[in-house]
Amino acid sequence: MSKDRLIIFDTTLRDGEQSPGASMTRDEKVRIARMLEKMRVDVIEAGFAIASPGDFEAVKAVAESVKDSTVASLARAVRPDIERAGEALRNANSGRIHTFIATSPIHMKYKLQMEPEKVLEQAVAAVKMARNLCDDVEFSLEDGSRSEPEFMYRIIEAVINAGARTINIPDTVGYGTPEEYGGMFRRVIESVPNSDKAIFSTHCHNDLGLAVANSLAAVMNGVRQVECTINGLGERAGNASLEELVMAVNTRHDFYPVTTGIDPVHIVPTSRLVSTVTGFPVQPNKAIVGANAFAHESGIHQDGVLKHRETYEIMKAEDVGWNANKLVLGKHSGRAAVRARFEELGITFETPEALNEAFARFKDLADKKHEIFDEDLQTLVSDVEQEHREEIYTFKGLEVSCKTGQKPRATLSFTRRGEAVVAESEGSGPVDAAFKAIESVVDSGTELALYSVNAITAGTEAQGDVTVRLSRNGSIVNGVGADTDIIAASAKAYLDALNLLESGSRAHPQRDGV
């Protein structure tokens, strides 16, 4: 019996970026998009083109870089948004305009302050406008899971007639339950006369931890596109996790009536890349991509796996890319081997000089730690890209004094707009002393909202990956830094966050969305 194709729509670069502090630069979005393309994701939502000039440039860059996946841009159901999305997607090999408007009574009354008939009229006009710019148009009913059924049927029928090829009914606030949400799609498909002329899509948020369950329930009731993100990244508690959805369908092929075109061997490397770029670590017990996902502590489990893997493992770790993270490089590796591994990770260099710089960084790192892993390479490239941004603050060096019974003291050297600065301070610990030393010069007026340390790889010589989240006047940024010296990594992350705040290039903006 042949199975339907389930379209995988990844919105890591749009909805995932709406996690406070998770904003990405244009080049970072292109790097992630290339990995998603390598994974054979069907649709990549690259951003919200009208949200900012940076978003527009990022959507445009992804559209021009990606050839095998469809590239989408979000747009509200208004002319400026749709025209901006169309312009950003002009050079796409395959583009999609994703337009939306809220349809629940509470959103229409309090947010839009529009009558239902006016909402319907604007939705139809938006789809027609988008179809004049792009053949592939998706329409979303924001807060669809709390919309009144009869109004949903009317607006869906109308926008399909206007040219929408995909209809997305999101669970915008994560309120749905599997039986309820799946049943909603079944009734919509049965009740809308022209439902056979469109693909129905689900977009679930994880406020109650049900995003994946709700998405799969929708699939069982006729949905053939799922919208999801790498690592479940997204606003509030996040979105449905791509890796969990894909591997659920792949593993339970006996149960689900669909198949995907995803090459799962790229899942773990892509997860690591997204984590590195955003500074959001993956929890160890995260399904599929967590460090403990294929670990067995129990003696009974270990014995069973050794005798027959399927006793306690329903998937092979190597099938989702875990074997790609084994040691492949060291201090004696040559330029060709390093370049080849970068390319396998979706990392390319526009000039020979850029490759030379990355290779020099690799050699420096190899002198500090014997084993070089994929995560090290991804972090290395992120560090190189940071240095090539126009920065106000640049880390130079650090000296820390710690002695039992005495307050730690940090002396930090960095540049501010090209001028050398030396700052010194005591603190309750060495990291606190380093941060206070920076602030004694900068006086940024920021609040430290998060400080997170993660070992990039195993072992005592591993690089420390530090995330520093700063907030100021409603803007939130995540600074990231990596070093085999955790105090140096912390100082780098703090300065990186200050640079982002000052430049505004990655300060988290307020955005609308489904």
The predicted-structure confidence for 130-169, as pLDDT tens digits, reads as follows 999 999 999 999 999 899 999 999 999 999 999 999 999 9
Q: Say if CB 288 and CB 317 are below 8 A apart.
A: no
Among all chains, which residue has been given the structure tokens 């290395």?
Answer: 380
Lowest mean pLDDT among 344-348, 405-409, 433-437: 344-348
Q: What does the block give as tokens for 382?
A: 């992120």
pTM (2 decimals)?
0.82
pLDDT at position 301, please?
42
Helices and strands (H and E) in the chain: how many: 16, 16
Instruction: State CA 329 to chain mean position distance.
Output: 27
Pairing of β 199-203 and β 225-228: parallel
Q: How far apart are CA 470 and CA 449, in angstroms?
A: 6
Q: How far apart are CA 333 and CA 284, in angstroms?
A: 30
Q: What does the block give as tokens for 38?
A: 């390598």
Superfamily in which the 4-278 domain is placed by CATH: Aldolase class I (3.20.20.70)
pLDDT score of 393 more than 60: yes
User: In the chain, what percentage of residues exceed pLDDT 70?
Assistant: 89
pLDDT at position 425, please?
97
pLDDT score of 370 more than 70: no
Q: What does the block give as tokens for 166?
A: 């995909």
Question: Is the pLDDT higher at 481 or at 427?
Answer: 427
Question: Is the pLDDT higher at 279 or at 117?
Answer: 117
Q: How far apart are CA 288 and CA 230, in angstroms?
A: 11
In eight-state DSSP terms, residue 107 is: I
Per-residue pLDDT, averaged over 394-415, amounts to 94
pLDDT at position 458, please?
64
pLDDT score of 330 more than 60: yes
pLDDT score of 300 more than 70: no
pLDDT score of 281 more than 70: yes
Q: How far apart are CA 87 and CA 432, in angstroms?
A: 47
CATH topology of domain 391-503: Double Stranded RNA Binding Domain (3.30.160)
pLDDT at position 144, please?
92
Q: How far apart are CA 343 and CA 312, in angstroms?
A: 34
**Taking Cα atoms as reference points, which of 20, 11, 6, 7 lies closest to residue 510?**
20
pLDDT at position 452, please?
87
pLDDT at position 147, please?
94
Instruction: State CA 487 to chain mean position distance.
Output: 27
Among all chains, which residue has been given the structure tokens 């340390």?
Answer: 453
Contacts of 26 (CB under 8 A, 6+ apart): 54, 57, 58, 61
**Taking Cα atoms as reference points, which of 401, 388, 470, 462 lies closest to residue 429?**
401
Q: How far apart are CA 219 and CA 226, in angstroms?
A: 8
User: In the chain, what percentage of residues exceed pLDDT 90?
Assistant: 63
Lowest mean pLDDT among 62-76, 292-306, 390-404, 448-462: 292-306
Mapping DSSP to helix (H, G, I), strand (E, B) and coil, where does residue 98 land? strand
Most confident stretch, 163-167, 288-292, 323-327, 481-485: 163-167
Q: How far apart are CA 317 and CA 307, in angstroms?
A: 17
Domains of the chain, residue spans = 4-278, 302-311+319-387, 391-503
